[in-house]
Structure 1
Amino acid sequence: MVSAVFHSPWAPVAEGNAIKKEAAHADSTRATALKGTEMQATTATPAPATKPGYDWRGLFLVVVPPLLGLALLVGIWALVSVGTAASIPGPLETWKQAVVLFSDPFYRKGPNDQGVGWNVLFSLERVALGFGLAAAVGIPAGFMIGRFEFLSRMFNPLISLLRPVSPLAWLPIGLLVFKGANPAAIWTIFICSIWPMIINTAVGVQRVPQDYMNVARVLNLSEWKIVTKILFPSVLPYMLTGVRLAVGTAWLVIVAAEMLTGGVGIGFWVWDEWNNLNVKNIIIAIFVIGIVGLVLEYALIKIASAFTFEEVKS
């Protein structure tokens, strides 16, 4: 019996494939082992947590510059007091007078003799009324002027004509029309604080991206939907800027208006102290006016920061 040995031509190829598969399997096994080792090493030796240090530089920038500015103001004030032979009271004398004045800020000894606290409150009441009326009229007017080109072209010349008029020029018109000092002062605040809100609101409406309006047109949204869903969120930063400017203008105007109209108010109090040649109280009133204005602006900034608009927060 003859035994025949048959050699297949595919045998070398099959053997080569088997060798390659074994080599690939060995490489995969080694890579898995190395990866597991690295993971164990990473898990075994975690990076030490670094404790954040206190931001002394930030604290320095927050505290020191304002103190230096205040010290500079007091220094200049003291030099002016010495240079005028004490006709303008110095910081120490004014501070002593302020302590006496604010020990009882809400006294009443007659219609024209009331504490500084009552005068500030009466002035704030007038500002609130005039500013509230200006906001109720100015913000909707700004939306309409910014929304419709016809109204924009119609009112822009009028705004440019009336906005630069001095607040004191409006006061006689108020006295003539309303026949009273208190409504005349409120009218003056209204007419002078309305322009920043109209202008800023109109500019905000005009700067809304046209793509938003195109989408609203495609979706066939009503005018109310356009105002509440598109315009109002986009215009809010501009509107709040106008409100801040208007509050500053209103607080400025009321002091000048009360000096001329009389009655009870911080402006009248300044003028009355001047008539009594009490310069210390005049300087105290200047600081009171500045601090109240600062508090009003800070309150509006906090209200604006409650919204998530970067333009408002900046």
Structure 2
Amino acid sequence: MSAVLDKLETPMMQNAASAASSPVAANEPVAVVPEKKTKAQLRAAMDPRARAAQRRAILLKVIPPLLGIAAFILLWEIIALTSKGSFPGPWPTAVEAVKIFSDPFYRNGVNDQGIGWNVLSSLQRVGLGFGLAALVGIPLGFMIGRFAFLNGMVSPLISLLRPVSPLAWLPIGLLIFKGANPAAIWTIFICSIWPMIINTAVGVQRVPQDYMNVARVLNLSEWKIVTRILFPAVLPYMLTGVRLAIGTAWLVIVAAEMLTGGVGIGFWVWDEWNNLNVHHILIAIIVIGVVGLLLELLLIRIAKAFTYEDHH
């Protein structure tokens, strides 16, 4: 019996001794903490082909816009050279722009103000007209999309009035409001309302019928149907209408201010034309484009923030 115990104890003691002598077994459990690598180490560890592809992608994003701008400036310079001095080139325009933007908010009277005040005045008119159009157009779009009878009643009127040029509504505004500023706001309102109505109505009509069936089974009120079902589903369409409306509004305000006068970027362009100051007209064109681009980018960010996509 003792011989058997000796044979059993010998391998057990050997296993214990080997376990004690093994550093991994003695220190179990071992928590391996991954070492944080710096960006330089990650770039060094990246496959050369992956690094080359990354550099190529960056260049494809940067080089084409730079080439487009360079081609535009070159074409501008060619036109200036062929015009024999009647059309200013890029460099004289840039020098004049530095002078203008060194003091954009000066005031030397009602009709002599810096470009900053003119842009702010135009944005104020756009904001008022656009805001009123949103207050009227979005609820009206919900009702048109929700009720077939109202859709059939209003759709012919929208189809008739939507193609009318926005500036054709300006004399109506002058006749009704007896003032240039409210007439310009009225013009912005009437040109901004159509994209909001149409896109909102289309969004409501494209809501899956299953959602409406569930609402009918649950006996939801019209307010809950709008707020819980329609609004989340229609929001992307509604924001698309808002983007289209703000772009149209910014286009129209320049033309409207040329006709009505007062303070505004459109009036500033027309006033500089009367003074034969082509440098300032070119600067105003660039400013109008930059402001329109910033408005578009702002609304795109808002649309992305409120648009939910399923990622599988």
> TM-score normalised to the size of structure 1?
0.82
| Paired positions, count | 265
1:242-261 → structure 2 map (5 Å cutoff): 242-261=241-260
Q: Residue 220 of structure 2 aligns to a residue in which SS?
A: coil
Cross-structure match for 2:173: 174
Cα drift, residue 66 of structure 1? 1.3
1:137-286 → structure 2 map (5 Å cutoff): 137-286=136-285
Cross-structure match for 1:42: none
- Work out the CA distance in 1 between the residues paired with 2:301 and 2:129: 22
Q: Please list every run of 5 or more consecutive structure 1 residues that lacks an aligned counterpart in the other structure.
A: 1-48
Cross-structure match for 1:135: 134
Q: Residue 256 of structure 2 aligns to a residue in which SS?
A: helix
- Give the share of equivalent positions with the same residue, in percent: 75
Deviations 1:170-202 (A, max 9, x none): 000000000000000000000011000000000
Q: Which amino acid aligns with 1:214?
A: N
- Work out the CA distance in 2 between the residues paired with 1:308 and 1:295: 20
Cα drift, residue 61 of structure 1? 2.4
Deviations 1:76-105 (A, max 9, x none): 111111222231111111011101111100
- Work out the CA distance in 2 between the residues paired with 1:279 and 1:51: 53
Question: Between Structure 1 and Structure 2, whose CA radius of gyration is higher?
Answer: 1
- Work out the CA distance in 2 between the residues paired with 1:58 and 1:238: 32
1:15-94 → structure 2 map (5 Å cutoff): 51=46, 55-94=54-93
> TM-score normalised to the size of structure 2?
0.82
- Structure 1 stretch displaced more, 220-229 or 52-61: 52-61
Report the aligned-residue RMSD: 1.8
Q: Please list every run of 5 or more consecutive structure 2 residues that lacks an aligned counterpart in the other structure.
A: 1-41
- Work out the CA distance in 2 between the residues paired with 1:161 and 1:304: 30
- Work out the CA distance in 1 between the residues paired with 2:205 and 2:85: 55
- Work out the CA distance in 2 between the residues paired with 1:254 and 1:100: 26
- Work out the CA distance in 2 between the residues paired with 1:310 and 1:242: 19
- Work out the CA distance in 1 between the residues paired with 2:126 and 2:101: 23
Q: Do the aligned residues in 1 keep the contact of 2:236 with 2:307 (CA within 8 Å)?
A: no
